[in-house]
Amino acid sequence: MASPEPASVPINGCDVAYRRAGSGPTLLYLHGAGGAYDWAPFLARLAETHDVVVPEHPGFGRSGTPAWLDGIEDLAYYVLEFADALDLRDVHVVGSSLGGWIAMEAAVRGFPRMRSLTLSCSAGVRARGVATGDPFLWNRAQQFRAVLHDQAMAEAAIAREPTPEQIEIELKNRYAFARVAWEPRLHNPNLKKWLHRIRVPTQLLWGANDRLLPVGHGEEIARLIPGAVLRTIPDCGHLPQIEKAEAWVAAVAGFIAEH
């Protein structure tokens, strides 16, 4: 399927770019720190059976960088307003890494449009004593090697020279990522206190070999969200939607079908 054309909607004065494709239950995909500039194969697969909505967060990709972008709470309110603006109903929210963190922050603030939640290798919660990677100290090659378990896949990604456009987008995304996730690094110490407010069916998908946010973080989140189910994906790093796209898409679609 061809990638859908980007549209845009103003959120609190910021032009938020988004793409929407497919029909079926509405799936709101919240991207991670790498952004969602490209329409990835896993999105195309999901759009075969879902109404897939993919915004680029303020500060990322084609979206504007608003003066109000100071922290993760601003991205939580943007998601709530984005869902209002598009009048998304019975939304199955899927968040990867930073996107999972934003989803939880939105959910604890009251997100009645949300029907289910899938968190994929989510940031947002620090599990005490579980080591994390430092994405801000990694160079481009080190990042690929750290987030992907399959090192052949990592080397292939490293070997692909980025275009000037990609370099610009990567710099922009990295800035926005740092803006919200530099300190406290990749988490909000206050979030844990309110995760019990998430009452929708919740599943966590986690690469068993995630080195950026090891699965111990998933165990901690699963403990704090009532009824949450943690599924680990073997031989897989921080980006199961890319590394194990088949299994990941099946798990997302299966969970949505159940709820």
The 67-96 site mask, x for binding other proteins (CB under 8 A), equals ------------------------------
Please choose, from the candidates 45, 100, 69, the residue with its C-alpha nearest in 3D space to the C-alpha of residue 250.
45
C-beta separation of 29 from 36 below 8 A: yes
Q: Which is nearer to other proteins, 64 or 240 (CB)?
A: 64
Q: Which is nearer to other proteins, 101 or 177 (CB)?
A: 177
Does the bond joining 184 to the residue before it have cis omega, within 30 degrees of 0? yes
Task: List CB contacts of 214: < 8 A, sequence separation 6 or more.
Answer: 130, 131, 132
Q: Tokens at residue 76, please?
A: 């939580």
Of 155, 182, 196, 254, which one interacts with other proteins (CB under 8 A)?
182
Give the range of 12-20, 121-129, 182-190, 231-239 binding other proteins by CB under 8 A: 182-190
State in angstroms the smallest separation of the CB of 173 from other proteins: 9
What residues numbered 123-162 form the site for other proteins, per CB under 8 A? 136-139
Answer yes or no whether residue 175 interacts with other proteins by CB under 8 A.
yes
State in angstroms the smallest separation of the CB of 215 from other proteins: 25
Of 5, 87, 183, 258, which one interacts with other proteins (CB under 8 A)?
183
Answer yes or no whether residue 163 interacts with other proteins by CB under 8 A.
no
Residue whose token pair is 């950026």: 212
Give dist(CA 174, CA 137) in Å, integer. Answer: 12
Answer yes or no whether residue 185 interacts with other proteins by CB under 8 A.
yes
State in angstroms the smallest separation of the CB of 226 from other proteins: 32
164-181 and 72-85 helices cross at what angle (nearest 10)? 110
Give the range of 10-18, 178-186, 228-236, 240-248 binding other proteins by CB under 8 A: 178-186
Answer yes or no whether residue 171 interacts with other proteins by CB under 8 A.
yes
Answer yes or no whether residue 211 interacts with other proteins by CB under 8 A.
no
Give dist(CA 41, CA 38) in Å, integer. Answer: 9
Answer yes or no whether residue 179 interacts with other proteins by CB under 8 A.
yes
Size of the site for other proteins (CB under 8 A): 14
**Alpha helices, DSSP H only, in the chain?**
41-47, 72-85, 98-108, 140-147, 151-159, 164-181, 216-224, 240-243, 245-258
State in angstroms the smallest separation of the CB of 62 from other proteins: 16
Q: Which is nearer to other proteins, 112 or 184 (CB)?
A: 184
Distance of CA 163 to the CA centre of its chain: 24
State in angstroms the smallest separation of the CB of 107 from other proteins: 25
3-state secondary structure (DSSP) of residue 209: coil
Give dist(CA 89, CA 69) in Å, integer. Answer: 26
Q: Which residues bind other proteins (CB under 8 A)?
A: 136-139, 171, 174-175, 177-179, 182-185
